[in-house]
Amino acid sequence: MQHADEPIVAAAQLNHTVVYASDRQASAGFLATVLGLEVGAPFGPFIPVDLGNGVTLDYYEKTDEPIQAQHYAFLVPEEQFDTMISRLEVAGVVYYADPRHTEPGRVNGLFGGRGAYFDDPDGHNMEIMTRPYVRP
């Protein structure tokens, strides 16, 4: 039963997720720099990166075993896409038009927008895209 002082949530929404990193500060800083965001203050064992839509990536340092790469996709404003690509180039990070990383230095034109894939310091396959995928 809902209490009067609890906010009403119309549907389930992603609030945060944990991203494993060998160096949580470096990985959070890398992504924040590419996306033009700020790294938040440590919160317990986490270094947060707030994405601006109410979702936080909480970077957690994992050193006891290899990090299994995951995929994270970010919907970004068209007017900021070129700046993000430039930040990758300045950092010496190769970006690709495809998720398998076979088309280096290129962007894709999916769904009338632009997109690119790149690895973060721990091999997570990051994606920036200016249009969401259209599902049938």
Is residue 49, in this structure, part of any structural domain at all?
Answer: yes
Whether residue 106 lies inside any domain: the answer is yes
pLDDT digits (tens, 9 = 90+) for 8-17: 767 899 999 9
How far apart, in whole angstroms, are the C-alpha atoms of residue 11 and residue 39?
28
- 76 with 135, same domain: the answer is yes
**What phi, psi does 135 have (nearest 5°)?**
-100, 140
9-43 pLDDT, tens digit each = 678 999 999 999 999 999 999 999 999 999 999 99
For residue 5, pLDDT beyond 80 = no
Q: Does a structural domain hold residue 4?
A: no
Are residues 49 and 112 both part of a single domain? no
Q: What is the rounded CA–CA span in Å between residue 18 and residue 48?
A: 9
